[in-house]
Amino acid sequence: MNNTVNNTSISEANTLLVLHHSNNSVGMVQNVSQNGHLIDVTPDSAGVDSMIRIDSSAESFTKFYTDFYNQLKNPEAYSFFKVTEFEAVETAIGLQDYIDSSSSIDREDLKKYEVSIDAVEVLKNKKKLKSDSSNNSNSYSKKPSADVINPRYRYQIEDVDWNALAKIGLEREMLEKCNVLDELLKGFKTLVLLPIRCDDGEGEGNVNARLQLKLNDNGEVVLHVYKSQKMPDFRKKFLGHRFSKEDRLNLLNIGNMGRVVQLMNPITGEAIPSLISRDKLTNELFSLPMDFVRIPAVVCGVVLSLEQQEVLRSGKPLFVENMLSKSKRLFNATLQFNAEKQWLEFFFNKRLKGGNNEHSFEFIVPSTFRGKDLPRWQIEKLKAGEMAYISGLVSEKGREYQGYIWVDKEVGRIVFSFKNPIR
């Protein structure tokens, strides 16, 4: 979503304030992350200039708010208030003062000032029906099916280019069978890999990939394909950053590099402090500028101190005790910010190196190597630091080969050799 919906003057622009139900804090909306998490800033921060700007016309706001609301992963966790841009900071500060000094009963009065998604949807649908009626004044209008209007989704079924999906071997029935159609229509990446047809220039074949629907610069819904790869190429620089051994180990074992680094903007050449994470399904590397790293003040009922929030914001892991699950049970876990998911990640039953943790992690032996499933006995030998013989591997030219594999803890990956290196 763009921060600016239309080019309007300050007097014409509106913006949104947000009330977080989890900790009763008031923020100024900036954006929605790729994974549906709200991005906002406090009214006393330096980021207020980047608050979202919305055309003040009723039609523009209705269209914007419906799209904005349906991108959120948990919209019920917030209340939103529309204000003019020039009074946003003062109103946000005043709203926070009211929240801090009022009782929960008094705060019920705020509901009449909230932007109601139900009211917005009714208004939007009335305008759509009116438009359809005028366009079809000389014919009977058809009743819209459940596929046509579904306010729960960012995109609708008719937005999807099914011809483009057919070209890579995907159909609606298959997406529904794999339980990924809802994820796509909500604007999220698929949680599983899907087999797609791909032409790499040497012939057509199948690869596994994650999919996501996005809007291009022309406002058209297009399909983004994230192809699975065997391993990130750490020999190459990533936006100007050269990976250290510890960087590689962290990305391979836990998926997060664990520190802030300066990455080069390929267009402007500007150095941007960012975090880096690995997509554990595709092995693709993702970065996120620090301006978009948002750490919640409350996680599963535990209020984080400013020091704890700063540990997480710097990319380091943080061990947190006595969190409350949805089933009302207490649990402990290590938290770390994931740049690919753009949110906090939970690690159970292990402590990670860095932050407030005492022990480094162990290398996680994968269940496959070069496309071949590893039997349990091979996995156990690799875990024990021993060498294992493997056969039935297939080269890119279709030839079978065999050899020896073992875990190299220095580089954090499985190493292959045609000959037994011990002999």
What value does the mean pLDDT take over residues 265-272?
A: 89
pLDDT band for 125, please (50, 70, 90 cuts).
low
Query: How many angstroms separate the CA atoms of 263 and 274, rounded?
Result: 6
Q: Is the pLDDT of residue 158 over 90?
A: no
Q: What is the pLDDT of residue 362?
A: 47
pLDDT tens for 218-233 read: 778 888 889 888 888 8
Average pLDDT, the chain: 78
Tell me what the mean pLDDT of segment 401-414 comes to: 74
Q: Minimum mean pLDDT among 105-114, 347-356, 370-379: which range?
A: 347-356
Residue 397: Cβ within 10 Å count: 5
Amino acid at 402: Q
pLDDT at residue number 146: 36
Determine the Cα–Cα distance for residues 130 and 117; give it in Å rounded to an integer.
Answer: 20
Confidence of residue 272 (pLDDT cuts 50, 70, 90): very high
Considering the chain, what percentage of its residues have pLDDT values greater than 90? 15
| Lowest-confidence region among 240-254, 264-278, 321-335 | 321-335
Write the DSSP symbol of residue 157: G
Instruction: Output phi, psi for 291, to 5 deg.
Output: -65, -20
Domain boundaries, the chain: 13-123, 157-227, 232-360, 368-417
Per-residue model confidence (pLDDT) at position 215 = 81
Asked if 34 and 289 touch (Cβ cutoff 8 Å), the reply is no
- Whole-prediction pTM value? 0.57
> Residue 343 forms beta bridges with which residues?
338
What is the predicted pLDDT for the residue at 63? 75
Please determine, for residue 358, whether its predicted confidence score (pLDDT) is greater than 50: no
Q: How many CB atoms lie within 10 A of CB 173?
A: 9
d(CA 416, CA 374) in angstroms, rounded, equals 14
CB burial of residue 375 (10 Å; 0-12, 13-18, 19+): exposed
CB of 317 within 8 A of CB of 365?
no
Is the model's pLDDT at 11 over the cut of 50? no
Q: Any idea which of 21-30, 193-202, 263-272 has the lowest mean pLDDT?
A: 193-202
Environment class of 334 (CB within 10 Å of its CB; exposed 0-12, middle 13-18, buried 19+) = buried
**118-147 mean pLDDT:** 47
pLDDT of residue 285: 94
Minimal CA–CA distance to 12: which of 88, 120, 85, 115? 85
Please give the full DSSP string across 161-225, using - where no structure is assigned: -HHHHHHTT--HHHHHHTT-HHHHHTTPPPSS-EEEEEE-SS-EEEEEEEEEEEE-TTS-EEEEE
Q: What is the pLDDT of residue 257?
A: 95
Partners of 304 in the β-ladder = none
- Comparing 273 with 137, the larger pLDDT belongs to 273
| 29, pLDDT greater than 70 | yes
Residue whose structure tokens are 């932007």: 115
Q: What sign does the dihedral 33-35-38-39 (CA atoms) show? A: negative
Q: What percent of the chain has pLDDT over 70?
A: 79
**pLDDT beyond 70 at 404:** yes
pLDDT of residue 7: 39
Contacts of 299 (CB under 8 A, 6+ apart): 320, 323, 335, 344
**Between 218 and 313, whose confidence is greater?**
313
d(CA 196, CA 383): 33
Residue 86 pLDDT exceeds 60: yes
Tens of pLDDT, residue by residue over 365-394, are: 777 788 788 888 888 888 888 888 999 888
